Amino acid sequence: MFGKTSTREIVSHVLETEHTVFKTKKNFNSMRGLPITCSQIENEELAVIEMGMDGLRTNSKTFKNG
């Protein structure tokens, strides 16, 4: 079974064979941490962003309304 972080690492590793890839660093994967993470993207071709769950309803409302 894979979690968010191991999935992020595997996907990044595969993509890095052909592209420059930015990936979420440390555990900045909350609603507060995501803007920090996204502000660090510079010249990479692709980004693999990990997002933590604070309950399915919270995230579903965020993406529906955001």
11-31 mean pLDDT: 90
What CA–CA distance (Å, rounded) separates 29 from 19? 22
Q: What pLDDT does residue 60 have?
A: 55
Domain count within the chain: 1
pTM of the complete model = 0.70
Over 70: is that where the pLDDT of 61 sits? no
Q: What pLDDT does residue 41 have?
A: 94
Range of the domain at 59: 4-65
59-64 mean pLDDT: 55
Residue whose C-alpha is closest to residue 47's, from 30, 18, 24: 24
